[in-house]
């Protein structure tokens, strides 16, 4: 891929080029291009269609086509050939061109000549930037060892550099937000129960009942996933939604369980105990596939409906109703494993309970149940495994968190940074992740970064973390590079069995001086003295060789309009050796409850309310905040407040407020109150990802409140080391006055 900007592109991007440096608000962020005065003719007129796009506005990776006129990408659509998302893409997918042409994008390598957190940027050449990265990372490696470098990666392009730092430089200190602040506990909990990570693999399209614990589809949008959910509802599936808030899914539910936050495991235990006591579980499945049933049965026997109803603050009858509905539709019930599950620091046990409930209902390998699609495996090419620095693994050194997801829990890395024990960590590589808004307690992150000898950030957009970089490198966006090879099956498992392979291919040339992750990593590797270990010379070569292993190639995929489709395999059925650990002896041996157990969380202190957060349908957390189309769809994140509580406080819908938490941390920005009966009295709720403090984001900065700023109290899940982030409590501040929350 060329990163040279042609004269034509330059002219087209005139306003962007004018804005190139310094990176301040120069043009309206609305458009990167000079507008024509004539009416736009529509995306079909005078355009050519390019195929091979794979979205990365979120991680779901819908397949795209682009409409190009005069070398400008004017629209993205779902690839009509797709058997996954089809012609559909979500709001974020549709807004991808506003990321591509965002005037605030990172365009050139930058050097921070100010201080971390309060940067002053100087444009430098790639040569200078790479030399500095190589020299300074090498210096840290030589002085402190490879483990003196921590890596915070996110996204498909971060895998290759992550592997380099882990396998070649030799650091185990890699912390992915998707594991330690999101879905890692789910995978660990199911691994310890089903011996497989579940992803979101429940066959909702063919379920007779769908059970969602916190999942809020509609606000949480992943196209083929929501298609499965809607197909199930259309076919008459009963929907049970357990959520303290009347979410988009609760609004479509048959039963809304308005549960008290943190008590979900008690609810699940009571449902399971009810099924066991009344012989309403799948005895055949349990006999064939489950181990530890007797320990499990006695371990949950205390969980009566009354016990749970009191803990969960819900009617006894409702728990019975849920249990009966699940039993009467078993085994065709979709017990959704969830996605973002890092809630309260007691989450591993809840995820174990969800898996156990699935097994009790026999909802494995059957229509509507837990079914893993059989997609083609395409092996990635990366750095050869070698010196991963296992002896420096912080988890093993501390003898903690035996069920940690891959990598090192973020908190252990920050601890080492702040104490220098068991060893110092003095360099940090942050690639596509924004730990400032993904990891709780921002002060600890700032302190950890301040003591570094070198901080490298690689990203597409400025974020709150890039303000802490010494060197900031601009990466090509998902529309400008080869990358991840997406594989999967037809979206509805009951349809004709098919498999697809869709490598991400560039729809346009990379703009400015943006480069892809393989090139950047290789250039740094050479300068650190590891040039001899480079496994692949370009991203294109990497993708081509990976495709070659399944008898495909980039040329072939271009001929096939970006997606290769072949016959698939029936995903239904259960392997004879599929084993469910209802009671897990290994967990018990490690000193944790071997039978799923409810562990109470801290109660809301008087005068406060619990802060709960979730997804906005138009944003992927903070990554999309500066997207001008998405911003205008939801400019701020209103804080949901129960209507009766609001009345007592004298607050009205639309009032402007800020928040202060129980550790006296105040939000730096404001938002508006959303008064509604659709939320419990003991919580407030807001969309995550707003309130960025990086003023280089001319659209997204200071819009709404950054909930992460208020999540300062740490709750670490004892089995996994993951962060629970719903144990923080807030009050409202209006017109400078702090308002207590009435009981």
Partner 1 sequence: MQYGMIIDLNRCVGCHACAIACKAEWEVPADKGRNWVHRLGPAKTPEGLAATYYPGLCNHCNEPSCVPACPADVVEKTFHDNRTGKTQTLRVAATYKNPVNGTVQIDRHRCLGCGACAHACPYGARYINPEIKNEDIGGEGIADKCTYCLPRVEQGLEPACVLTCLANARIFGDLDDPDSEVSRYVSKGAIGLTSAAVHIGPNSRYYGNKKDMHLLTSTSAPTGTGKPSASLRRGFIAQLTTEMKKAGGLGFLGLAGAVIASDSDDDNG
Interface size with partner 1, residues (CB under 8 A) = 56
Should residue 254 be labelled a site residue for partner 1 when binding is judged by CB under 8 A?
A: no
Residue 97 contacts partner 1 per CB under 8 A = yes
Per CB under 8 A, which region of 9-17, 398-406, 536-544, 628-636 contacts partner 1?
628-636
In angstroms, what is the minimal distance from the CB of 486 to partner 1?
17
Cα of first residue to Cα of last residue in the chain, in angstroms, is: 60
For residues 615, 709, 404 and 346, what is the CA-based torsion angle, rounded to 10 degrees? -80
Nearest to 614 by CA among 220, 186, 181: 220
- What's the number of CA atoms in the CB half-sphere (13 Å) around residue 42? 2
Which long-range contacts link 8-15 to residues 24+ away (Cβ below 8 Å)?
8/70, 8/71, 9/71, 9/509, 9/511, 12/70, 12/71, 12/72, 13/101, 13/511, 15/103
Asked if 37 is part of the footprint of partner 1 (rule: CB under 8 A), the reply reads: yes
Residue 251 CB, shortest distance to partner 1, in Å, is 4
Binding mask 665-694 for partner 1 (x = CB under 8 A): -----------xxxx---------------
Min dist. Cβ of residue 676 to partner 1 (A): 5
Asked whether position 45 contacts partner 1 by CB under 8 A, the answer is: yes
Mapping DSSP to helix (H, G, I), strand (E, B) and coil, where does residue 206 land? helix
88 lines the binding site for partner 1 (CB under 8 A): yes
- The alpha carbon of 552 is separated from its chain's Cα centroid by a whole number of angstroms, namely 30
Which of the stretches 220-228, 350-358, 472-480, 704-712 binds partner 1 when contact is defined by CB under 8 A?
220-228
Task: State which of residues 217, 267, 370, 732 lies at the interface with partner 1 (CB under 8 A).
Answer: 217
632 part of the interface to partner 1, by CB under 8 A? yes
Using CB under 8 A, which of the segments 94-102, 141-149, 270-278, 547-555 binds partner 1?
A: 94-102
The yes or no reply on residue 230 touching partner 1 (CB under 8 A) is: yes
Question: In whole angstroms, what separates CA 291 from the centre of its chain?
Answer: 32
With binding defined as CB under 8 A, does residue 227 bind partner 1? yes
- Choose between 76 and 528: whose C-beta lies nearer to partner 1: 76
Nearer to partner 1, 40 or 591 (CB): 40
Tell me: does residue 129 bind partner 1 (CB under 8 A). no
Which two structure tokens, joined as six digits, stand for 286?
């349990």
Which two structure tokens, joined as six digits, stand for 525?
């590797």
Return the residue of 213, 221, 270, 311 that touches partner 1, per CB under 8 A.
Answer: 221
Instruction: Return d(Cα 491, Cα 396) in angstroms, integer.
Output: 40
> Could you tell me which residues come within 8 angstroms of residue 503 by beta carbon, excluding any fewer than 6 positions away?
52, 54, 482, 483, 484, 485, 486, 543, 546, 547, 554, 557
Query: What's the closest the beta carbon of residue 679 comes to partner 1, in angstroms?
Result: 8
Looking at the DSSP bridge assignments, the partners of residue 51 are: 65
Distance (Å, whole) CA 408 – CA 427 = 16
**77 to 96, 484, 496, 642: CA distances (angstroms):** 10, 19, 24, 39
As measured in angstroms, the least distance from the Cβ of 358 to partner 1 is 24
Which ranges of 492-584 would DSSP assign to H, the alpha helix? 517-527, 539-548, 554-559
Nearer to partner 1, 234 or 279 (CB): 234
Q: What are phi and psi of 556, to 5 degrees?
A: -65, -45
Per DSSP, the three-state class of 646 is helix
Q: Which region, judged by CB under 8 A, interacts with partner 1, from 219-227, 281-289, 433-441, 594-602?
A: 219-227
Nearer CB in complex with partner 1: 43/712: 43
Can you tell me which of 20, 43, 131, 556 binds partner 1, judged by CB under 8 A? 43
Q: How far is the CB of 634 from partner 1 (least distance, A)?
A: 8
* Selected range binding partner 1 among 249-257, 359-367, 440-448, 510-518, rule: CB under 8 A: 249-257
**Strand duo 715-716 + 723-724: pairing:** antiparallel
Residue 76 or 308: which CB sits closer to partner 1? 76
Considering only the stretches 43-51, 393-401, 451-459, 474-482, report the one whose residues sit in contact with partner 1 under the rule CB under 8 A. 43-51
| DSSP 3-state of 238 | strand
Residues in the site for partner 1, rule: CB under 8 A? 30-31, 35, 37-45, 74-78, 85, 87-95, 97-98, 217-219, 221, 223, 226-227, 230, 234, 246, 248, 250-252, 256, 617-618, 628-633, 676-679
């Amino acid at each position: 891929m060329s990163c040279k900007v042609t004269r034509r592109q330059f002219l087209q991007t005139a306003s962007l080029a004018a804005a190139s440096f310094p990176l301040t608000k120069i043009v309206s962020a609305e458009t990167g291009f000079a507008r024509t005065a004539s009416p736009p003719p529509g995306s079909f007129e005078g355009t050519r269609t390019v195929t091979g796009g794979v979205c990365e506005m979120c991680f779901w990776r819908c397949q795209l086509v682009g409409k190009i006129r005069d070398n400008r990408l004017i629209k993205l659509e779902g690839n009509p050939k797709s058997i996954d998302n089809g012609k559909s893409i979500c709001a974020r997918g549709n807004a991808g061109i506003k990321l591509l042409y965002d005037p605030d994008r990172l365009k050139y390598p930058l050097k921070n000549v100010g201080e971390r957190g309060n940067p002053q940027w100087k444009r430098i050449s790639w040569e200078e930037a790479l030399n500095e990265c190589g020299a300074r990372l090498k210096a840290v490696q030589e002085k402190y060892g490879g483990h003196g470098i921590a890596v915070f990666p996110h996204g498909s392009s971060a895998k290759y550099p992550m592997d380099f730092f882990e396998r070649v430089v030799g650091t185990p200190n890699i912390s992915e937000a998707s594991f330690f602040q999101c879905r890692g506990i789910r995978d660990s909990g199911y691994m310890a129960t089903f011996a497989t990570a579940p992803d979101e693999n429940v066959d909702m399209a063919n379920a007779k009942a769908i059970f969602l614990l916190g999942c809020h589809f509609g606000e949480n949008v992943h196209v083929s996933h929501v298609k499965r959910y809607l197909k199930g509802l259309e076919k008459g599936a009963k929907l049970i939604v357990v959520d303290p808030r009347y979410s988009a899914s609760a609004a479509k539910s048959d039963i809304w369980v308005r549960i008290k936050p943190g008590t979900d495991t008690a609810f699940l235990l009571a449902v399971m105990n009810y099924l066991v006591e009344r012989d309403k579980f799948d005895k055949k499945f349990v006999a064939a596939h489950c181990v530890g049933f007797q320990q499990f049965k006695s371990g949950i026997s205390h969980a009566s409906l009354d016990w749970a109803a009191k803990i969960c603050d819900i009617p006894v009858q409702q728990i019975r109703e849920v249990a009966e509905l699940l039993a009467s539709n078993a085994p065709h019930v979709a017990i959704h494993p969830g996605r973002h599950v890092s809630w309260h620091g007691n989450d591993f046990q809840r995820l174990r309970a969800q898996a156990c409930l699935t097994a009790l209902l026999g909802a494995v390998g059957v229509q509507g149940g837990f079914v893993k699609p059989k997609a083609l495996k395409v092996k990635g090419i990366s750095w050869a495994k070698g010196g991963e620095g296992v002896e420096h693994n912080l988890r093993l050194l501390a003898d903690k968190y035996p069920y940690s997801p891959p990598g090192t829990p973020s908190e252990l890395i920050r601890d080492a940074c702040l104490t220098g024990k068991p060893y110092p960590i003095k360099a940090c590589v942050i690639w596509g992740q924004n730990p400032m808004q993904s990891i709780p307690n921002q002060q600890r992150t700032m302190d950890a970064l301040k003591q570094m000898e070198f901080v490298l950030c690689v990203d597409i957009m400025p974020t709150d973390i890039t303000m802490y970089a010494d060197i900031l490198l601009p990466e090509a966006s998902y529309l400008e590079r080869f990358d991840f090879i997406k594989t999967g099956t037809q979206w509805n498992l009951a349809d004709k069995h098919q498999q697809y392979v869709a490598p991400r291919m560039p729809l346009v040339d990379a703009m400015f001086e943006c480069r892809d992750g393989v090139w950047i990593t290789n250039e740094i590797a050479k300068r650190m003295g590891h040039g001899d270990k480079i496994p692949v010379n370009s991203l294109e070569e990497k993708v081509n060789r990976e495709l070659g292993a399944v008898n495909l190639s980039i040329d072939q995929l271009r001929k096939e309009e970006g997606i290769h489709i072949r016959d698939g395999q029936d995903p239904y059925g259960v392997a004879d050796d599929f084993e469910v650990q209802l009671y897990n002896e290994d967990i018990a041996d490690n000193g944790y409850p071997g039978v799923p157990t409810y562990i109470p969380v801290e109660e809301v202190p008087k005068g406060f309310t619990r802060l709960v957060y979730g997804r906005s349908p138009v944003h992927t957390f903070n990554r999309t905040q500066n997207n001008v189309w998405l911003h205008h769809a939801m400019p701020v994140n209103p804080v949901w407040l129960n209507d009766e509580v609001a009345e007592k406080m004298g607050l009205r819908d639309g009032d402007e407020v800020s928040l202060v938490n129980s550790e006296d941390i105040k939000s730096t920005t404001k938002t508006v109150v959303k008064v509604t009966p659709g939320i419990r009295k003991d919580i407030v709720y807001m969309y995550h990802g707003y309130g960025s403090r990086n003023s280089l984001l001319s659209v997204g900065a200071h819009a709404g409140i950054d909930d992460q700023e208020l999540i300062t109290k740490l709750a670490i899940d004892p089995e996994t080391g993951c962060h629970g982030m719903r144990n923080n409590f807030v009050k409202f501040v209006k017109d400078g006055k702090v308002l207590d929350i009435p009981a």
